[in-house]
């Protein structure tokens, strides 16, 4: 994919860009990189439109002009997790501190150190520095091929020959290394979110050209919502029935807690009765809505073409 190739290339460029720059430059460049990355994430997820319309979103006076507004939107759209949201805001705060306070010139400054020390990335999320695609055998470099991977038996035999993965780490507690580890974790996470955005891209809403279209559309989603609610209630009913059965089993084996178990069972039975009543009400409402919708559509058809005076 052209976009993913572009993103991977930008990852590589970032590494070389920040390798020997000052802490201030590192924080600002990394912040800008993530800002651009979540902008790409949004562009891939939102309905496609012209460049002009995109610019209106992200231009200086646009609703998504700032890093913080982009972070908030990707989170509220469900494109990133709470952890990613917090990490992005952490990077944003650090970038802003470096950009707007000239007395802060190092990741070791107290305010930056405090931010980073309280937000160490989980080691389980730290990505490998690189993925070895070759190994040495009898003094010869052997490159991994697609055939090697597809042949399960062969692949399992050569897998131990590859060099062990070397993961990003911050064991020395150097604040810059912690900052970069957070960045690399976000790189990895956002690359996967980008794939999600591409697959789940929003489409422009369907044009509703008649009152029949509007009512059908409304009923379709209302019906889906109501059915989902009924299914949730039925799942809750099954769970409650299971708890009642479990309580009954305990009642038959535990002679010392019979009184407490009986009380729990009665509470669960009452809860089950309430759930059954809710299911019945929801199903009745579904039927009523369907009947009302059918009646409305028939009325529309019957009156179509007649000279109906506006109110």
Can you give the CATH number for the domain in which 184 is found?
Answer: 1.20.120.330
Given a cut of 90, is residue 238 above it in pLDDT? Answer: yes
In tens, the pLDDT along 123-163 reads: 888 888 888 888 888 888 889 888 888 888 888 888 888 88
Separation CA 195–CA 198 (nearest Å):
5
Do 91 and 192 have their domain in common? Answer: yes
Given a cut of 60, is residue 308 above it in pLDDT? Answer: no
Averaged pLDDT of the chain = 87
DSSP letter (8 states) at residue 79: S
In tens, the pLDDT along 166-211 reads: 787 776 678 999 999 999 999 989 989 998 898 999 988 889 888 8
In a domain, 310, yes or no: no
Chain centre to alpha carbon of residue 14: 24
Do 43 and 10 have their domain in common? Answer: yes
pLDDT class for 4, splitting at 50, 70, 90? Answer: low
Q: What is the DSSP string of 280-303?
A: HHHHHHHHHHHHHHHHHHHHHHHH
State pTM to two decimals: 0.74
Provide the β-strand partners of residue 134: 143
Residue 43: is it exposed, middle or buried by C-beta count within 10 angstroms (0-12/13-18/19+)?
A: middle
Do 153 and 225 have their domain in common? Answer: no
Do 65 and 112 have their domain in common? Answer: yes
What's the domain range around 232? 211-303
The larger pLDDT score, comparing residue 169 to residue 295, is at: 295
In a domain, 206, yes or no: no
pLDDT for res 309: 59
Do 19 and 146 have their domain in common? Answer: no
Separation CA 144–CA 161 (nearest Å):
11
Do 123 and 150 have their domain in common? Answer: no
Mean pLDDT of 79-95: 96
Do 161 and 176 have their domain in common? Answer: no
Residue 148: is it exposed, middle or buried by C-beta count within 10 angstroms (0-12/13-18/19+)?
A: middle
Q: Are 14 and 30 in contact (CB under 8 A)?
A: yes
Mean pLDDT of 35-57: 89
pLDDT for res 128: 84
Do 107 and 13 have their domain in common? Answer: yes
Do 113 and 182 have their domain in common? Answer: yes
pLDDT class for 6, splitting at 50, 70, 90? Answer: low
Do 222 and 267 have their domain in common? Answer: yes
pLDDT class for 255, splitting at 50, 70, 90? Answer: low
Q: How many CB atoms lie within 10 A of CB 276?
A: 14
Indicate the number of domains in the chain.
3
Do 262 and 298 have their domain in common? Answer: yes
Do 113 and 257 have their domain in common? Answer: no
Separation CA 279–CA 234 (nearest Å):
7
């Amino acid at each position: 994919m052209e976009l993913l190739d572009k993103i991977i290339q930008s990852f590589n460029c970032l590494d070389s860009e920040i390798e020997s720059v000052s802490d201030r430059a590192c924080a600002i460049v990394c912040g800008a990189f993530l800002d651009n990355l979540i902008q790409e994430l949004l562009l891939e997820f939102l309905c496609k439109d012209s460049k002009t319309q995109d610019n209106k979103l992200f231009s200086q006076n646009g609703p998504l002009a700032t890093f913080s507004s982009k972070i908030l939107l990707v989170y509220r759209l469900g494109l990133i997790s709470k952890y990613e949201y917090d990490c992005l805001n952490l990077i944003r705060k650090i970038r802003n501190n470096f950009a707007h306070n000239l007395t802060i010139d190092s990741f070791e400054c107290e305010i930056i150190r405090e931010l980073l020390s309280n937000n160490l990335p989980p080691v389980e999320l730290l990505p490998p520095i690189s993925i070895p695609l070759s190994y040495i055998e009898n003094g010869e470099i052997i490159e991994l091929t697609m055939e090697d991977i597809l042949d399960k038996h062969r692949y399992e035999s050569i897998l131990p020959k590859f060099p062990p993965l070397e993961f990003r780490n911050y064991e020395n507690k150097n604040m810059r290394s912690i900052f970069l580890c957070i960045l690399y974790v976000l790189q990895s996470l956002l690359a996967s979110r980008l794939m999600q955005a591409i697959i789940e891209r929003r489409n422009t809403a369907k044009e509703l050209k008649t009152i029949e279209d509007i009512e059908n559309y409304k009923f379709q989603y209302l019906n889906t919502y109501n059915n989902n609610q009924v299914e949730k209630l039925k799942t809750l009913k099954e769970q409650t029935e299971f708890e009642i059965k479990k309580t009954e089993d305990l009642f038959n084996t535990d002679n010392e807690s019979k009184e407490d178990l009986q009380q729990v069972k009665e509470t669960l039975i009452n809860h089950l009765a309430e759930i059954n009543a809710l299911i019945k009400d929801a199903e009745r409402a579904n039927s009523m809505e369907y009947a009302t919708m059918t009646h409305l559509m028939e009325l529309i058809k019957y009156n179509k073409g007649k000279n109906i005076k506006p109110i």
